[in-house]
Structure 1
Amino acid sequence: MKSILITGCNRGLGLGLVKHLAGMSRPLDNIFATCRDASKATELRALADKSSNIHIIEIDLAYTDSYKKIVDTINDQVRGNGLNVLFNNAGISSKFTRLGLVKKQQMTDAFIVNTVAPIMLTKALLPLLKTAAKKAEDTAELSVRKAAVINMTSVLGSIAENNDGGFYPYRCSKAALNAATKSMSIDLRADGILVACLHPGWVRTDLGGNNAPMDVDSSVSHILDTLNSLTEKHTGCFLQYDGKILPW
């Protein structure tokens, strides 16, 4: 894997992924990291100041018409080599709500960020992903070393595992992202692009809350190990951070 784009890197799992990748003994050529407001992404900017391979892209992913900025930034850096991995990490969640309290705007906002944005960004970056897959023709089997789209989902998006109800905006938008992941895996297989959705565990982040049992570093370490182990048999799968297959 020579290049990766990770969305939502100002804090939490996105920032954790950038930190771990920046600290690898064999660093990637390019790590592209998006955030909505670079002036508030203090830790991310500090990492970029130390590592010339980290490129910050300031963008609000809700505005899908602005994705050309991302495409152009990546094109300028990879110089014809394409993009190996798109990691759709950015996501939002409203607080737990029962049916009587859920609001239309909560539903709309969640679908725009958690479902629509990953689909439209994948569409925008498809030429770069296809280029990376072609450049890795010596790697016949699907993998992150060739080309991959990883969608950060949640076990809360599992219909089979829903035993508590509530969380309408988050559950529904993540279940829809899971469905999109399956379709992408079918549509992009012939192009040599692996597609999977990944549950990071219940992690102590702004989204996961302080009661979560897992810290960011533990989750990210498992996630990166799992990414590197993905093969053709994993495309179209709903995976946990440690590689366990989850029920839809």
Structure 2
Amino acid sequence: MQRTWLVTGTNRGIGLEYVRQIAASGDKVIATARKPAEADELNTVKSQFPDAVEVQELDTGDAQSIAAFADRLDGRPIDILVNNAGLYGGSWSTDSERQTPLMMDYDLWEEIMKVNVMGPFRLIVALLPNLVASDRKLVVNMSSDLGSITNNKHGQSHAYRSSKAALNMITRGLAIDLAEQDVSVISMAPGWTKTDLGGDGAQWETPDSVTRQIKVIQAATPDQSGGFLNLLGEEVAW
């Protein structure tokens, strides 16, 4: 059965690789970016899979952008929503000082919370009719191992960590709230991946990470709703 995916933040990294792999699989994907005209790699993938890839403008940090986007998708079923768009504020290796106790960039922290927490929540609510109208009815919130309170042994990255922990709470809460409509919600920890955030020293190549994530998503069952899973399908401690 052909599915329709919606993936946010697809101009680069994990989101872009999702688009590549979903399109190649034969499913359809609505790929969003804040500035589609400047998303050269994404537009190249669209040209390779013109019947599978649809590129749409969306700024998940902007409530009006989300509302307008939902209006454009009115009535269209969405099987799997992947809330991938997120903000760290640079890279782990060069910009982490902006999230330390003595050098915290509070304006950045506010922006991170708006994009990483409020954005996904708003988008899920706005697209709930689209999800309910589909066969799969699954939401995947892209979290991080850094969002695990239990596994935090190193401190640092306080703004990003707190945003992903908050996103995990939204996953748990919405899984309960939306159960009556048969919508499942899970958090995904993609592993330390070689992206702009993860850097070249990361453990996972981006294609391998996404392949494993998609496998977990496709195998996810309703009884896993509200859970926090990694790219190997293992439960991550809250």
The number of aligned residues is 229
Residue of structure 1 in register with 2:127 after alignment: 125
8 Å contact kept, 2:32–2:55: yes
Question: Offset at 1:84?
Answer: 0.8
Q: Which stretch shifts more, 183-192 or 55-64? A: 55-64
- Identify which range, 186-195 or 46-55, moves more after superposition: 46-55
* RMSD (Å), alpha carbons: 1.3
Structure 1 Cα separation of the partners of residues 198 and 78 of structure 2: 29
Counterpart residue identity of residue 96, structure 1? S
Q: What's the CA shift for 1:81? A: 5.4
Q: Please, which of 19, 34, 37 is the counterpart of residue 36 of structure 1?
A: 34
Q: Does 1:113 align with 2:115?
A: yes
Aligned to 1:96: 96
Q: Contact 1:32 / 1:74 at 8 angstroms: preserved in 2?
A: no
Which digits, 9 at most, give the CA deviation of each residue in 1:44-87, with x for residues without a partner? 10111222221111222211122233223333xxxx55111110
Match runs of 1:231-242 below 5 Å: 231-242=221-232
Unpaired runs of at least 5, structure 2 = 90-94
In structure 1, the residue matched to 2:220 is: 230
1:112 alignment partner, SS class: helix
Q: Which residue of 2 aligns with 1:18?
A: 19
TM-score, normalised with respect to structure 1 = 0.89
Which stretches of structure 1, 4 residues or more, deviate above 4 A after TM superposition? none
Give the superposition deviation at 1:103: 1.8
How far apart, in 2, do the equivalents of 1:90 and 1:109 lie?
Answer: 13
Quote the residue 1:65 is aligned against: 64
Matching residue of 2:92: none
Aligned mates of 1:81, 1:113 — CA distance in 2: 24
Identity, in percent, stands at 33
Calculate the TM-score normalised by the size of structure 2.
0.92
Task: Determine if contact 1:150/1:196 at 8 Å carries over to the other structure.
Answer: yes
- Where 2:43 maps in the other structure, the secondary structure is helix
5 Å matches for 1:49-88?
49-51=47-49, 52-75=51-74, 80=75, 82-88=77-83
